[in-house]
Amino acid sequence: MAGMGARAIQQPRDWSIQFGDAQITSMDDTVDKGELSMFLGGLPSNVLVQILVDLAEDHQPVRARLQRLQVGRDPEALTARFAERLRRWQEDDRYVRLEEAGELCRELRVWLDEVGREVLPQYPKYALAQFEAFIQIDGALLERVDDSGGDVGFAFELACGWWRRAALASGIDDQEMASRVAMLLANDNYCARRTLAGGESNLPKDQSLGVNEWQATRPRD
């Protein structure tokens, strides 16, 4: 089973039919976000506080987001919470079957979007370190995943786009950028880091990366 991800990620695939479920993000697609935002903006603050407290009690992602907001002014404390999830993925030795790979991909993409939304705008150098650490666990994950569908490999391609965006936001010069990309590509044993060498078209255009947007620009085999 070891190394299955390395072979599978190179197989051509029809990207147009992937991630149908993943396109549904934080709210049902029948909800008008603008209308909901206006409604929430008109609620008294004490009502909003109680709603968030109730949601945090019942929903771990809400609770985790509020906990990160509490430490948001301390970049080390904030990124430590993301680093803990990376450590768990890296140390987990459970084999992930093909039918479970899509769910793992969704977890990875949530992590990427959260770092892109919560860390990158304020602390781009910290975000760059997080995205780089994410890319470097590709071997630990792909060794134990049946990634015949390419789902997990796709998450690492997205991570490469986020890395490039964070690198540009961090203000590192061209020489350092080239050196760091070369180092990462030299250890690309699973062909999951190819998009690190891409141009501007490989960068996510906003903080919530759209699947269709990435599909339109990803390199084809």
Among residues 150, 152, 151, 170, which one has the least CA distance to residue 162?
170
Label residue 39 by pLDDT band (50, 70, 90).
confident
Highest mean pLDDT: which range of 5-9, 54-58, 131-135, 208-212: 131-135
55: DSSP letter: H
Instruction: State pLDDT tens for residues 60-104.
Output: 677 666 666 665 578 999 999 999 999 999 999 999 999 999 999
Answer yes or no: is pLDDT of 50 > 90.
Answer: no
pLDDT in tens, 135-179: 999 999 999 999 999 999 999 999 999 999 999 999 999 999 999
pLDDT given for residue 41 in this prediction: 86
The per-residue b/e assignment along 182-193, b for 16 or more CB within 10 angstroms, e otherwise, is: eebeeebebbbb
DSSP state of 78: H
16-43 mean pLDDT: 61
Question: Over the stretch 184-217, which tens digit does the pLDDT of each residue have?
Answer: 999 999 999 999 987 544 445 543 333 333 333 3
Is 80 exceeded by the pLDDT of residue 51? no
**In this model, does residue 28 exceed pLDDT 60?**
no
Contact 46, 130 (CB under 8 A): no
Q: How confident is the model at residue 55 (pLDDT cuts 50, 70, 90)?
A: confident
Distance CA 148, CA 130 (A): 27
Reported as half-sphere exposure (CB side, CA atoms, 13 A), residue 82 has a value of 30
Model confidence at 42, in pLDDT bands (50, 70, 90)? confident
Please spell the DSSP secondary structure of 165-194, one letter per residue: HHHHHHT--HHHHHHHHHHHHHT-TTS--G
Pair 13, 149: CB distance under 8 Å: yes
Give the global pTM. Answer: 0.68
Q: Distances from the Cα of 85 to the Cαs of 89, 118, 153, 170, in angstroms?
A: 6, 15, 18, 23
